[in-house]
Amino acid sequence: MQQPEQHTQSRRNVLKTAGIATVALLALPGAAAAKTTPKGNGYGNGNGIGAFLNAPAEFKNSPVWTGGIENHKRESTVTVTVGAMTDVDVPNVPIPSAPVAFAPQAIVVSPGTTVVWTWPTYEEPVAGIPHDVVALDGSFDSGLQFPETATDFSHTFEERGTYLYYCTPHGAPFPVESFLGFEVLNEFGMRGAVVVA
């Protein structure tokens, strides 16, 4: 007479079975939905201000942003200069500074605050440099303006969050033609941020 087969579970078989069950559970759609989605705007997890403002610039030494975030909470209107003077490093061009910055570069405001961007004028050799103010998320765009004919541009920030912006010719996060005639990415680091908190 034949003996009935004995079923014994070794520790290894138990762990192997548990491991297979865990992998099977992770493959279920509900488990995938529980996965966290990164927050932010593509420039770091969170508000991304440092990564965006300090991205390497073609003609400006790093770090590009050193001024911190200016507190303008509880102010109804805040003015930002478009084309503020800043140090530049352009090979074979004897100009140590040029009007290719936003000032202040980063601000924190309360919901409902209106930010007004203004274009100052300068004398030669840095006169007439055009700039624009373009939101990274596309929520505002001043259009390209020359300082001599520019009109102030404003935007009211109602929603809490971080709004990154740039000047297309001098800080675009995509390739543009430089003033020297070749393609560059983030020519002078002309970028800014508004934090609504």
For the full predicted model, state whether its pTM sits above 0.85: no
DSSP 64: S
The number of C-alpha atoms within 13 Å of 82 and in the hemisphere containing its C-beta is 31
Residue 151 CB burial class (10 angstroms; 0-12, 13-18, ≥19): exposed
Return the CATH fold of 49-196: Immunoglobulin-like (2.60.40)
Contact 162, 173 (CB under 8 A): no
In this prediction, residue 48 has a pLDDT band, given cuts at 50, 70 and 90, of confident
Mean pLDDT of 12-36: 38
Contact 195, 109 (CB under 8 A): yes
Element (H, E) at 16: helix 11-26
Supply φ then ψ for residue 163, to 5 degrees.
-115, 110
Per-residue pLDDT reduced to its tens digit, 66-114: 889 999 999 999 999 999 999 999 999 889 999 999 999 999 999 999 9
User: What is the chain's Cα-based Rg?
Assistant: 27
